[in-house]
Amino acid sequence: MGFSLPPELTSIILEYIAHDDLHLAKYATISRDWQAIIESKTFSSLKINTSKRLAEFNELSWDRRRSYVRKVDLIIQLESYYDDDDACTRYENEGEMQRNNKIFTTSIYSLFITLAKWPAKEEAEFSLLIEARSPDDLLGQTPGAKREREKRIEESYPSNDFQDKRFERSYLQFNEEVVGVKCPAVPIITSLEIMGAINRRNIEPASCSFIVSKFPRLYRLVLHLNDSCKWDPELRKSHRNDFADPILLWPASIRQLHLDFCYMAPFDQNYSPAASTVKGKTNPLSLRLRKFSQQLKDGRGPMCAWKRSILAHR
C-alpha cells in the first residue's frame, strides 16, 4: 500500500540523491508529488547551448513550469568551420561574419519573443546570461575534438592553425533589420550578464547596449567587452563612442553594474598604446558612465571614469 511523504521530507531525500546522481529527472516518474519537486529543481537553471535546444525551449508549453525557471544561460551556437579547407588558417571573412550575425540576432530575438510572454512577478529574480561560440572554437570543442586538433597541430609544426585568433577581429552584431520587426521588451529579466570577450566571441559593445535597453526591470548588469582592437585604433574609438550613446536608454532600475572593458596591453614596453580620446575633448564613454553612476548602489569597472561620482552619491 502506497503512502505520500511530506514535501519537505521529499526535498531532503532528493538533495541527498543529487549528491551521487546529478540526473534527477528520471525520478520524476515516481509520483506526481516527486514530479513537481524535481521539476522545481531541474528547471530552475537552464542551459541552452544548441539551436535545437533553443527551438525546443521556444516551442515548449511551459504553463506551471515557467514559475520554476530562475536562470537561463543562452550560449548561441554559431556556424561550424573546422572542416572547411582553409577556414582555420585565416581570419573570418565578411560572408562568415554576416552569417554569424544573423544567427546571433535571430537566436536572441526568438528567446526574447518567448520570455516577453512570461509574467514578471514583483519580487521574483530572473537571470539571463548571453554568449556565443562555434562548436569549432577551442572553448566549444569536445575534449575528444580538442585532442584531435592539438594532435594535428603538433604533427604539422609549425602550424598555420589560427585557433581562436580566427575570430579576434570579428564582432557579433544584433541587428533588428535581420528579423524585420522590433524586438520586444522583456520585463521578467532582473539580472543580465553578457560574455563578449575573454576567450569568447567578441560582441559589439553597441549591440550590448541595445540588448540592455530591452529589460525595463533590470537590477544587475555585468558586461565583459573587448576594448583592444590593436589592428584598428579607429575601430576601438568607434566601439567606445557607439557604446556610450545608448547608455541613455538603459533602464532606470539598474542598481548594480560590473563593466569589464578588457584591454590587452602590448608586450613591447616601448610601444605606446593608441589613445582612446582626443586631447581637449570630453570622452563620451566616461561622460555617460559618470552620469549613469548616480543611480547605482554598486559599480565596478573603469573606475577612473566614475569612482568620484559614486562616492559623492553615497
Q: Whole-model pTM?
A: 0.83
174, amino acid identity: F
Domain ranges of the chain: 50-267+276-296
* pLDDT per residue as tens digits for the range 76-107: 999 998 776 678 888 899 999 999 999 999 99
270: pLDDT strictly greater than 80: no
What is the pLDDT, as a whole number, of residue 150? 76
DSSP type of residue 58: H
Per-residue pLDDT band at 314 (split at 50, 70, 90): very low
Q: How confident is the model at residue 18 (pLDDT cuts 50, 70, 90)?
A: low
Please report the pLDDT score of residue 26 as a whole number.
Answer: 65
- pLDDT tens-place string over residues 159-188: 777 777 888 889 999 999 988 889 999 999
CA distance 139 to 145: 11
What's CA 224's distance to the chain center, in Å?
Answer: 9
- Beta-ladder partners of 207: none
Mean pLDDT of all residues in the chain?
A: 83
pLDDT band, residue 128 (cuts 50/70/90): very high
Q: Which residues contact 35 (CB under 8 A, 6 or more apart)?
A: 28, 29
pLDDT band at 276 (very low <50, low <70, confident <90, very high): low
Q: Which residue has the higher pLDDT, 145 or 85?
A: 145
**Residue 32: pLDDT above 80?**
no
**Whole-angstrom Cα distance, residue 298 to residue 288?**
16
CA distance 198 to 285: 21
